[in-house]
A and B are shown apart, each in its own frame.
Chain A
Amino acid sequence: MLAALWDTCSKKKTRNTGASWECRMVDKAKVAAQFIQAIPHSRELGMNLTEIGDGTAEIVMPYDERFVGDPETGVIHGGAVSALMDTCCGAAAMSHPASPSLTATIDLRIDYMRPATPGQAITTRAECYHITRSVAFVRAVAVDEDEDRPVATASGAFTVQGIK
C-alpha cells in the first residue's frame, strides 16, 4: 500500500532528506490516480481512490461477483471489505501532513454492521485522527448507496516510517 505515494515522493526526497514535505507539492489528483495502480491487490479488487486530503481518503470498490462471500445472497465477503478498509486507512495515514508517506498496518479491527447490498458499490472514508512520530491512528466507515446505515467501521494503528 505504500508504493504509490512513495514513488511520487522518492525522487524529491532522496535529494532533500530533511524536507519530507516536498512531496506535498505533487499534484494530489495525479497521486490519487497512481496510488491504486501501484498496489496490485487493490487494483485487482477494482478500487478507485476518489479523494485524498490531509489525513483523509475515500476509496470506492464496485460490486463484483468474484468477491461474493455468500453465494445464496450475493453479499460481498468480509475479506474484500477488509482489504478496502486497509487500503483506505493506509492512504489516510500516508496523506497526513506529518507523515513521511510510508506506512504499514500494525493492527486493524473491523466491525461488520450489516451485509452490503448486492449490486451496489462500497465506499470507504478514512480519517487519520491522531499521529505521533511512530504511530498513526486511523478510523474508517464503509457505506453502500444507503449512506445513513454504515456497512462496516474500522479502526487501526499504522506505522509512521521515514526514509532513512
Chain B
Amino acid sequence: MRQKPEPVQVVKQRRDAALNALVHGVPYINYLGIEFDRRGDELTAVMPFDDKLIGNPMLPALHGGAISGFLEVAAVIGLSWAVIWDEMERGELDMNELIQGHLPRLPKTIDFTIDYLRSGKPRDAYARAQVNRSGRRYASVHVEAWQDNRDRAFAQATGHFLMPPRAKD
C-alpha cells in the first residue's frame, strides 16, 4: 500500500528548521543581516539595507565588499541547500544534529568573480544563486543580485567551490 504523504506543516517545519540552522549558524551572515525566503526548494537571499553597508556616503551607494559578501553568502548557502535538500528528501539528514548547531561542512570558495553592473542603492537587495554544476568535488555557481527591479541586476558573480567530503565517502 502507498504510504500516506506527511502533513504539509510537518514537511514545512522540517525544511524551515534546516534552512534556519544553516543560515543562522554563520556569524558573518548574521552580521550582514541576510535572510533567506524559501518557496519549495527555491531560495532568495535578502539583505535589508543598513547604514553599515554603505561604501560611498556621498551618493550614497552600497560598498562593493558588502555586495560581494552578499553574493558569496547567497552562492554558498544556495549550493549547500541544494545538497541538504536532497539528503533531507531521502531521509538521510540528521535533523537533531542540524538544529543543535552541528552544521554540515560548508563548501569552500576556490575563486569568486564579481561584476558590478550598477551602483547599489541604499535599499534592500535580493539575490538568487543557480548551481550550474555540482560534482562530487567541485561546483560552479552563478549568482545575480537586484534591488527594485528584477530585470536590472546591479551585480552578478560566478564562483567555484570545493565540496565537503560526503559522510558516505
Q: Tell which of A13-21, A23-31, A83-91, A135-143 binds the partner.
A: A83-91
Residue from the list B51, B52, B64, B69 in contact with A105, Cβ < 8 A: B64
**Contact status A112-B28, CB under 8 Å:** no
Chain A CB within 8 A of B93 CB: no
Residue from the list A44, A45, A108, A112 in contact with B68, Cβ < 8 A: A108
Chain B CB within 8 A of A146 CB: no
**Contact status A41-B28, CB under 8 Å:** no
Which residues of B are found within 8 Å of A149, using beta-carbon distances?
none
Nearest-Cβ distance from residue B164 to partner chain A, whole angstroms:
10
- Given contact pairs A3-B57, A82-B112, A108-B113, A41 touches B65 in the complex (Cβ within 8 A): yes
Which residues of A are found within 8 Å of B27, using beta-carbon distances?
65-69, 71, 77
**Contact status B26-A41, CB under 8 Å:** no
Nearest-Cβ distance from residue B139 to partner chain A, whole angstroms:
14
Which residues of B are found within 8 Å of A65, using beta-carbon distances?
27
Most B Cβ at <10 Å: residue of A40, A87, A109: A40
Other A-B contacts than A1-B56, A42-B55, A107-B115, 19 sampled, CB-CB below 8 A, are A1-B55, A39-B63, A40-B52, A40-B63, A41-B53, A41-B65, A42-B65, A67-B31, A70-B26, A77-B26, A78-B72, A78-B112, A80-B28, A86-B65, A87-B63, A108-B113, A110-B68, A110-B109, A110-B112
Chain B CB within 8 A of A121 CB: no
**Contact status B73-A79, CB under 8 Å:** yes
In this complex, how many residues of chain A approach chain B with their Cβ under 8 Å: the count is 41
Nearest-Cβ distance from residue A74 to partner chain B, whole angstroms:
9
Most A Cβ at <10 Å: residue of B29, B53, B112: B112
Interface, chain B (partner A; CB < 8 A): 25-29, 31-32, 51-58, 62-66, 68-70, 72-73, 101, 103, 105-106, 108-116, 119
**Contact status A109-B69, CB under 8 Å:** no
**Contact status A82-B63, CB under 8 Å:** no
Chain B CB within 8 A of A6 CB: yes
Residue from the list B31, B51, B68, B69 in contact with A66, Cβ < 8 A: B31
Residue from the list A2, A3, A77 in contact with B69, Cβ < 8 A: A77
Nearest-Cβ distance from residue A63 to partner chain B, whole angstroms:
12
Residue from the list A2, A38, A66 in contact with B28, Cβ < 8 A: A66
Nearest-Cβ distance from residue B162 to partner chain A, whole angstroms:
9
**Contact status A42-B115, CB under 8 Å:** no
**Contact status B63-A67, CB under 8 Å:** no
